[in-house]
Structure formats: C-alpha cells, structure tokens
Structure 1
Amino acid sequence: MNPVTPNQTTSDATGVAAASGQPSPTFSPLYQQIKGLITQSLQSGEWKPGEMIPSEVELANRFKVSQGTVRKAIDELAAENLVMRRQGKGTFVSTHHEARAHFRFLRLMPDEGVPHYPESTFIEVKRLRAPAEVARLLDLKSGDAVVYIKRVQNFDGVPTIVEELWLPGLIFKGLTAERLNEYKGPMYGLFESEFGTRMIRAQEKIRAVCAEAGDAALLRVAAGTPLLCAERVSFTYGDKPVELRRGLYLTERHHYQNDLI
C-alpha cells in the first residue's frame, strides 16, 4: 500500500473519501480528513458509546492511507474526548457512563475531601414553548417545544447548585420527572443511553451574581448572597446545540475548577 501524503492534491483527497464510500470532505490535511470521516461514523452510530472501534490497521485499510495518518487522527479524537485508548485493549468510543467522564462537565469541586457527584432534587420538569433567547441559543425557532428542568444539587445533604435546563423537545420527547427521578447517575449518561444524544463539548459564560429570593431559599442562604452563575450551551456531533443550562453555584465550600491544557 502506498500511503497518501498530506500535501496531496484536492483530487487525491476526494479519492480518500470515495474509497471509504462516504461524502467527500473539504480539502484539509489528510489526517484531518480521516478524523472527519471517523467522526461521521461516530455520529451515524456505526460505533456506539463504549464500543471498540476498528484497529488502526483496519482503518488504514478502509481509508487507503497509512497507519500513521490514522494514528494522528485518533490522537486528536482522544484529545477531544470522543474516543478513549485503553492500553493493550484498543480504542473505544467515549461514554458518559465512564467514571472519569462524570467530572468533565461538572467543574464544581470541594475545597476539602474527594470530588463526588451530587444528589439531585427535581423541582420542576415540563414541556413548554421556547422563549426567544432559548430558541436562539439552541438553534430552534421561537415557540418550538423544549423540555424545561429545574433542580437543586446537593453535596452531602447541603444544597449547593440550582440549575435550569432547556432541551430540544423533539430530541428529548418522553423525558419526564419520573424518568429523571428513577435514573441513578449523571444526567448526560441518561441523555446518551436513552435519547441517543452525546454531549461532546460545551461553551460557558461565568459571572458573579447575588442570590435572588427564590434561589436563595432553595440554597438555604440569605437573599443577596454571592453566587457564581454559569451559562452553558452543550453541543453534540456536527456542532449541534442540544442543551442550554444555567447554574447558580454556592462557593462557600466549593470552587470552580478548569484545567487549562
């Protein structure tokens, strides 16, 4: 097999896509094209979360490129948490059910003690029409159906987070308070296993606010108490927004931690 080098022509790049039987990617470095084709297979569900993907040799044969090109593509996918390498076993599709994934999107850490997942108390779960700002952030039409969730998260019995979530109603049809209360584990695990929606990245805005009366009551603090407010839009494959989340964090015993790599 003669590997195709990154400085190939556009027609060569099209040949890679044709050999894979998949849509032609736009011209870019070869490993980026292979990364895109593997991502398409992840998005289509060819390999499910938690499943092992084909070996580098098998993928190299499939796409008619060198094993080194495939390895570089997988390295980037692993760095983006889309796949996970397991020494001596292979490469697996990342899943929110893995223990290490529980804290990828939960950034509130205790000042003392071992990080652990909070317990949730659901205040409200209902379907409603998307307000204009929610529709804009979720790339919906104003008035489209969304699922609205409000909950309090408790660490060791202490209410610490008040969250509001908006989810596209079409994708999360059938999500109810009963199902949320029954499920034990991180919410993103439920979204992945029962609604086929995997959160792969998020954008956050963080600011300091003062607790309003209703939220202060839920957190058992005085109105006006300083809180950390985080607004997050989470995306699935294809940069499709599938969740808007606004959280109020009490940081008396916790801090927001972000590892910059």
Structure 2
Amino acid sequence: MPKSPAPLYEQIRQLIVAALAAGEWRPGDALPSEAALAERFHASAGTVRKAMDELAAAHVVERRQGAGTFVATHTAPRNSYRFLRLVSDDGATGFTRELLHCRRARANAETARALHLRTSEPVIEVRRLLLRRGRAVVLDDLWLPERHFQGLNSEVINAYPGTLYALFEERYRVHMVRAEEKLRAVAARAEAAELLGVSDGAPLLSVERVAYTYGDRPVELRRGLYHTTSDFYLNELN
C-alpha cells in the first residue's frame, strides 16, 4: 500500500473506487470476498470490512444476504428511482415517461460550472415528463456532457425500457453513485403550468440535482418541477 496520511481503510476504499471507475468490476458484478481483497491490498480482513462498510453506506456496493457483495446498479428494480424521492399519497409506485425532446446544445455558464465544463462545450439536453396514472407529476430538464453520451438521442431513449440512469449505465458505462439536491418552492410559469396541468402561479417544488459518477465527477445537471398535490418528497434521515 502507498504511504498516505489517510487511514488504511480509506486508502482501500479509494483503491476499490478507482478499480470501479476503471471498469474492473461492472455494476451488478460480484466483488471478490473480503479475504481476497485483504490479500490483494495487504491488509486485515477487518480493515477491508470497514472500507466495504463505507462503500455500502454510500450505496456504491450492496450486500446480499448469503450471496456476497455486489456493485450497486440502477438496473435493479429496487434501485430504479433511487434518487427520485417523490412518493404518492395513495402508495402508488413507478412512473410512465413521456419524452418531450432530446437535442444537442451548448453549455451556458451555469451548466458549465455545475458539470465542470467549458462554457459553450457540447451538451445533450433532455426534457421529459414523469406521469403517474396518466397525471403529470414531474417536469424534468437534464443536461449531460456530450463527450460521455455520444449518440444519445430520442430514438435511443424511447427504445430503452428502463430508467435513464439504467440506460446511462448499460449503454454509456456511466454509473451515477451519488447526487446533491437543492430544493425550493416556486410558482408555475405558463409553459410548465401547461405541461403539468396546473394553473399559472400554482405552487411547485423545484429540485435541482447534480449527479456524480466514480471519483466525484459531475455528469448530470437536472432541474425538476414537482407537482405535489397528491405526492410528497420523502427524505430518510439516518
């Protein structure tokens, strides 16, 4: 192990993340046993276990009783909407999706800053609606660095049966591991009001999200407008 001021378990955590970023293990793959990782990193099993505890707490890996530890994946049904915290009052789950557009654009200053790009660098802009029981509940606008999502277009999105994050993972090898969100209350403007089926000025929840892949690299800026008349935002605090 290289000398570092960081605790040994943190060094091992970083090395595992680097291996994930390099594609040594893909989302959904089983990881080697803690004993095998301890041998690889010349550390104790307890130190490796602590590193894995950190990765599991961050949802980078997931432990399955009796099966081992696996790289977390957005293709698993239980993780399909891991970053979407909108819950229906009546317990309804899942969404249908309506793509409004997917097109190339140039990053403005704000988008470039959020995604660590140069101003005017090519991005892919996606707008879509999420509907529950035919009622629009989320208007999403996304910006993605084009260099990571070459060939992404409306046909690709519409042909894929799963979520966008699952698509990004399977086709573009971009795995979203964490996100930061900013929430505020806003009044619906005319275009959003029409798309969400609310009156002009109706209260909406604005959620701005930056999603990160391995190595804390930002790869998505998303702005969502949530219609919360029959839904609420759930944040679980541990």
CA distance, structure 2, for counterparts of residue 131 and residue 104 of structure 1: 28
- The DSSP-based 3-state class of the residue aligned with 1:181 is helix
Q: Which residue of 2 aligns with 1:75?
A: 53
Q: Which residue of 1 aligns with 2:139?
A: 162
Q: Which residue of 1 aligns with 2:19?
A: 41
1:40-78 alpha-carbon deviations (Å, 9 max, x no partner): 111111011101111011111111111111111101101
Kindly provide the amino acid, as one letter, of the partner of residue 89 in structure 1: A
Kindly provide the amino acid, as one letter, of the partner of residue 76 in structure 1: E
- Residues paired across the two proteins, number: 238
The answer on 1:64 being equivalent to 2:35 is no
Q: Which residue of 2 aligns with 1:89?
A: 67
- The DSSP-based 3-state class of the residue aligned with 1:179 is helix
- 125, 141, 165: which is aligned to 1:148? 125
Q: Which residue of 2 aligns with 1:7?
A: none
The answer on 1:98 being equivalent to 2:76 is yes
- 161, 179, 198: which is aligned to 1:221? 198
Question: What runs of 5+ residues in structure 1 fail to find an aligned partner?
Answer: 1-15, 18-23
Q: How many angstroms does 1:168 deviate by?
A: 0.2
Larger RCO: 1 or 2 (CA < 8 Å, sep 6+): 2
Q: How many angstroms does 1:103 deviate by?
A: 3.0
Bigger Rg, structure 1 or 2? 1
Q: Which residue of 2 aligns with 1:131?
A: 108
Q: How many angstroms does 1:172 deviate by?
A: 0.7
CA distance, structure 2, for counterparts of residue 227 and residue 188 of structure 1: 24
Runs of 4+ in 1 over 6 A off after TM superposition: none
Question: What runs of 5+ residues in structure 2 fail to find an aligned partner?
Answer: none
Q: How many angstroms does 1:203 deviate by?
A: 0.8
CA distance, structure 2, for counterparts of residue 101 and residue 179 of structure 1: 21
Percent identity for Structure 1 against Structure 2? 49
CA distance, structure 2, for counterparts of residue 96 and residue 227 of structure 1: 27
1:171-209 alpha-carbon deviations (Å, 9 max, x no partner): 111000011111111110000010110111111110000
Q: What's the TM-score, normalizing by structure 1?
A: 0.89
Q: What's the TM-score, normalizing by structure 2?
A: 0.98
CA distance, structure 2, for counterparts of residue 163 and residue 65 of structure 1: 45
